[in-house]
Amino acid sequence: MLSSQEIAECVQWACEQEVAAPKPGNVNCFSGGHNMQVEDFLLSAKAIAPVLANPNLTVGELILQAIQATRTVVNCNTNLGIVLLFAPLCRAIHNCRTFEQLPEALTRVLNTLTIDDAKACYKAIRLADAGGLGKAEKQDIKTTPIISLKQAMALAQEHDTIAKQYLNNYHEIFYIGLPNLTSAINCEESIEWATGLAYLKIISSVPDTLICRKQSREHANAVSKKAKDLVKKMNNSYRLSHLKNDIIAWDNELKKEAINPGTTADLTAATLLLYAFQSKLSSHRISVS
């Protein structure tokens, strides 16, 4: 099993690699964006890592305390989606001796979420002051929930892919993100460019729901199509770095139009966390700072 220190290392590493990766439209190694810079994400990563590694906190407490920790170092929403995805994974990994045990452990965590978890999560979301949430007919974020966190996520799953992960046991992360990240790394891509490929593969398959909410479904579909075109241009290669100029140009274009595929970035961060857990549990140490 991983120690709390090892889990914290994985969390911080995953967050740092996510923001360093060339992910068009997001804050990345080429440029900031959406009134945020790389340093904001690095400070946030360091703040949440020890919180999310705490074995004595419930999922709701992990979420709330991680956002509270974030707010002590930055005054913007750098990581709400990341925290929502990381908290169940971090809770589950404490009970795993092998990576193969993680999906079942995650299922148990998600199936035992409570109303108190939902209340803590709602507080965290309000504290993060995330944009583009909209208003829900039932169990709106401005109210006090009377259902479990998983039930609340079920109400949101049609318009939020992060919420959907609570219902499908992180399907997009386990079966789209992780295999493509791993394949690119095995083809000797750097972790940053391998992450960029995982990002493209995810958004090619799943239109970004933050774009859907902030702009429109048509905008999200157009972004997905562009990602598919770039993947096709790779000619079945896992070497996204060969398309560096295309990636930079698209990154600039999306930021000029204020289009932020933020949900996909969060799913990509969770993909990196899975990779880090897998590496640690396989005793193939990754470099963390």
The domain locations on the chain are 4-281
For residues 202 and 176, the answer to whether their CB atoms sit within 8 Å is yes
Predicted local distance difference test score (pLDDT) of residue 131: 55
Neighbours of 156 (CB within 10 A): 21
The 10s digit of each residue's pLDDT in 70-97 is 999 999 999 999 999 999 999 999 999 9
Q: Which of 103-117, 165-179, 235-249 has the lowest mean pLDDT?
A: 235-249
**pLDDT at 135 (0 to 100):** 52
pLDDT above 60 for 287: no
Structure tokens at 202: 């995810």
Q: How many CA atoms lie within 13 A of 243 on its CB side?
A: 25
Tell me which CATH code domain 4-281 carries.
1.10.4200.10
Give dist(CA 193, CA 70) in Å, integer.
27
Q: What is the mean pLDDT of residues 18-24?
A: 95
The DSSP symbol for 177 reads: I
- pLDDT above 50: residue 133: no
Mean pLDDT of 113-138: 81
